[in-house]
Amino acid sequence: MTAELIAQAAPPRAAAQAIHACPICGLSGAASEQARVRSNLRAFANETFAVWRCAGCRSLHARDEVDLAHYYAKYPFHTGAVDWRMRAMYDNLLRRLRWVGLTRDQSVLDYGCGGGHFVRHLNDRGYRAVGFDEYTAAQRRPELLDATYDFVLCQDVIEHVPDPKALVAKFDELLRPGGTLALGTPNASAIDLTRPEDFVHALHLPFHRHILSKAALVSLGDPLGWSLVRYFPSMYNNTLVPFINPRFMLYYLRCFDNNLDLGFEAPRFSARLLSPVAAFWAFLGWLFPPETDVMAVFRKPA
């Protein structure tokens, strides 16, 4: 980063200031912390965005409204191809879903499926899955939201929406009695706003609008009577496959321009990738996953 950009991204001293009412816990009047954070996409890396932490539930919120259509037009998750790295992560995600009860006779909705890659992964392995995504033309099929499902997967979606609680209410409508919701999302409790560059990928501005704290996430289903089945303190990209774990990925990104685009491009080489540190993260990084991206699995009452 240039000196000018570092100055822009540096957070102001934490202070309690009136912001907005927290859409998670409803507390209004004060933010315990604030920061300005750059975007982690190369096209927008010279732009910074304000984020604040609720003094009550400790969730994080983007302060200002932006033209999200402008930013999503260059969103790599909607266009990236499936390679061996993605297949390793998808296999790990499927293994996780099996642990919490997913079977081939259940109907599955991948809500916010992007290009539908994981839906195809499930179908190829004999699961009855469909996908919906508001921002991908091929996956924008609103008729799918008129049905109900045994299992709903929502991976990296709830932090993008303007009203997380409304989305949870929608999931209650989509789930059949006894159905399961697997909700993967960043964890605000593990993000330190005094070091925004260290957490630029979990913050993922301006796309992430509301990031729930761990406490807010695990209690999200309480008003609906849902039970918490399991909490995973890591993301599904934490695999045993060498090089495919968050610790190595973060190290790899920092060897270059530390932008998320690198994960969707052909692998690059740096002398730093020959270091003992790189080798340690490549082969043993899965033992030390950061708790910045997690998953909570809920079950609706039968």
Strands 293-299 and 107-111: unpaired
Q: Which pLDDT does position 79 carry in this prediction?
A: 59
Q: How far is the C-alpha of 229 from the C-alpha of 68, rounded, in Å?
A: 33
Q: How far is the C-alpha of 112 from the C-alpha of 134, rounded, in Å?
A: 7
Q: Which pLDDT does position 11 carry in this prediction?
A: 35
Better-predicted residue by pLDDT, 3 or 120: 120
Residue with the two structure tokens 């996430």: 217
- The model's pLDDT over 270-300, given as tens digits with 9 standing for 90+, comes to 999 999 999 999 999 999 999 999 999 999 9
Is residue 63's pLDDT more than 70? Answer: yes
Domain boundaries, the chain: 3-66, 76-234+294-299
Q: How far is the C-alpha of 179 from the C-alpha of 255, rounded, in Å?
A: 43
Sign of CA dihedral 194, 195, 200, 203: negative
The DSSP string of 211-253 is: E--HHHHHTTTGGGT-EEEEEESS-TT--SSTT-SHHHHHHHH
Q: Which CATH class is domain 76-234+294-299?
A: alpha beta
Whole-Å CA distances, 257 to 94, 110, 144, 209, 263: 31, 32, 40, 24, 12
Is residue 10's pLDDT more than 50? Answer: no
Considering the chain, what is the average pLDDT of its residues? 91
Is residue 94's pLDDT more than 70? Answer: yes
| Contact by Cβ (8 Å): 152, 174 | yes
- The model's pLDDT over 216-270, given as tens digits with 9 standing for 90+, comes to 999 999 999 999 999 999 999 999 999 999 999 999 999 999 999 998 888 999 9
